[in-house]
Structure 1
Amino acid sequence: MSFLELNINLFRIINDLGKQYTYLNPAMIFIAEYMVFFLAFGVIVIWFTQNKKIRMMVFCAAITFVFAEIIGKIAGEFHSNNQPFAELTNVNKLIEKAVDNSFPSDHTILFFSFCVSFWMFKRGWWFLWIIPAFLVGFSRIWVGVHYPADVLAGAIISIISGSIVYLIVPKLRLTLKLLGVYEKYEQLVISPLTKSKGKKSKDI
């Protein structure tokens, strides 16, 4: 069996689950389409904990995503395929998606870039961040907009990018300087607000 046949067969197996277990389709649609908003919310909340180590983690995750996206775009120049629903018949397409190059999966790159980076920095229970990354990749196949190879390539690119960033970026003076400059200006904004709140509390 060729890689192409294996890719299509695996896609059929996963995508056909939506025909067999229709009650799971709303959950898969939600994960495929809207989990990105929960990721964004989680990242913002984590960033504003104002812990320097945590902020370094989030900063590196963002760098990983940019790095992985660039590599993904380059990979897309060497190999391209449209979404399964545009190339195959009888696909269980559950969400709307424009036809373009689906290799590699941008959603997978986004989630694995952040989730894997978080795990690399924190370990312990932070491995739970890997679960949504896998769920998003799996759901994109389930709803018919990506092949398994699109998702696998996105995950591999993100893991490699995350490993490189984890080993290099935190050690750079420029990184520490950028975070320091940001925190300096953040304090200029937050301090007046904090003082204003304290003054109002005393007046009451």
Structure 2
Amino acid sequence: MLEFLNSIDTSLFYFINVTLSNSVTNKVMPFITENNHWLLFYIIILGYIFFKGGKKGKVAVISVLVLIIFADQSTNFLKDYFARLRPCKVLEGVNLLVGCNSLYGMPSNHAVNNFAAATLFSFFYPGYKLILFITAFLVGISRVFVGVHYPFDIAVGAFVGITEALILIYILKLINSKFKIIY
């Protein structure tokens, strides 16, 4: 069964990474995948929410920072547990558009962090849910386009990130029912 799933994942990887590769995706996807390109944007948005969003904004920003730190660290543990080599380490003919530095790729930190943040911010700001999840999806799929993750690495990362965010949302609701920290 695992062999079958691996063959599907590898086929999907080649379809996205090689077949869908073109001059546009080869420029856009490395930009999307690079965290440093988003850093200033994230700082501005988080600062705005923190200072202009009232009590809810402060709780949202502090919560997402705690969530990302936890999610990022838990992902490193899961990578060592699954020990799944990145496609750029084992496959031939990969359209590698960024460095292939670390060994393991399951689950994708980019997917975990972005889907966790999208889920948490959707709780606080449901009107932005669609754009948050589109952005998380684009960041996740960019990792396949640039050659450093299999599609299942992204799917598992999305699942882990959403699950971790839902657990935090549950905790926040419990705390809010006692202390009214959100509204």
- TM-score, shorter chain, exceeding 0.5: yes
Corresponding letter in the other structure for 1:98: N
Residue 23 of structure 1 pairs with residue 24 of structure 2: yes
Query: How far apart are the structure 2 equivalents of 1:40 and 1:81?
Result: 33
Give the gaps of 5 or more residues in structure 2: none
Q: Could you say if the C-alpha distance between residues 99 and 11 of structure 1 is closer, same or farther in structure 2, counting changes exceeding 3 Å?
A: same
Corresponding letter in the other structure for 1:8: T
8 A Cα contact 1:63 1:165, kept in partner: no
8 A Cα contact 2:89 2:103, kept in partner: no
Q: Share of identical aligned residues, percent?
A: 28
Aligned residue runs from structure 1 range 33-182, under 5 A: 33=34, 34-172=37-175
8 A Cα contact 2:86 2:104, kept in partner: yes
8 A Cα contact 1:68 1:113, kept in partner: yes
**Per-residue deviation, residues 10-63 of structure 1 (Å, max 9, x unmatched):** 1111101453x2223211111011235533432233222251112212222223
RMSD (Å) for aligned C-alpha atoms: 2.5
Query: How far apart are the structure 2 equivalents of 1:50 and 1:169?
Result: 17
8 A Cα contact 1:91 1:144, kept in partner: yes
**Per-residue deviation, residues 44-94 of structure 1 (Å, max 9, x unmatched):** 332222511122122222232233234323322321122211110000001
Query: How far apart are the structure 2 equivalents of 1:150 and 1:41?
Result: 29
Q: Helix, strand or coil: the match of 1:22?
A: coil
Query: How far apart are the structure 2 equivalents of 1:35 and 1:146?
Result: 20
Residue 10 of structure 1 pairs with residue 43 of structure 2: no
Corresponding letter in the other structure for 2:12: L
8 A Cα contact 2:51 2:57, kept in partner: no
Query: How far apart are the structure 2 equivalents of 1:45 and 1:98?
Result: 34
C-alpha displacement at 1:165, in angstroms? 0.4
Corresponding letter in the other structure for 1:47: F
Give the gaps of 5 or more residues in structure 1: 180-204
Q: Helix, strand or coil: the match of 1:150?
A: helix
Number of equivalent positions: 177
Query: How far apart are the structure 2 equivalents of 1:75 and 1:126?
Result: 27
Q: Helix, strand or coil: the match of 2:156?
A: helix
Corresponding letter in the other structure for 1:61: V
8 A Cα contact 1:71 1:157, kept in partner: no
Query: How far apart are the structure 1 equivalents of 2:18 and 2:154?
Result: 17
TM-score after normalising by structure 1: 0.76
C-alpha displacement at 1:171, in angstroms? 3.6
Flag as ranges the 4+ runs of structure 1 deviating above 6 A.
none
TM-score after normalising by structure 2: 0.84
Structure of larger gyration radius: 1
8 A Cα contact 1:108 1:133, kept in partner: yes
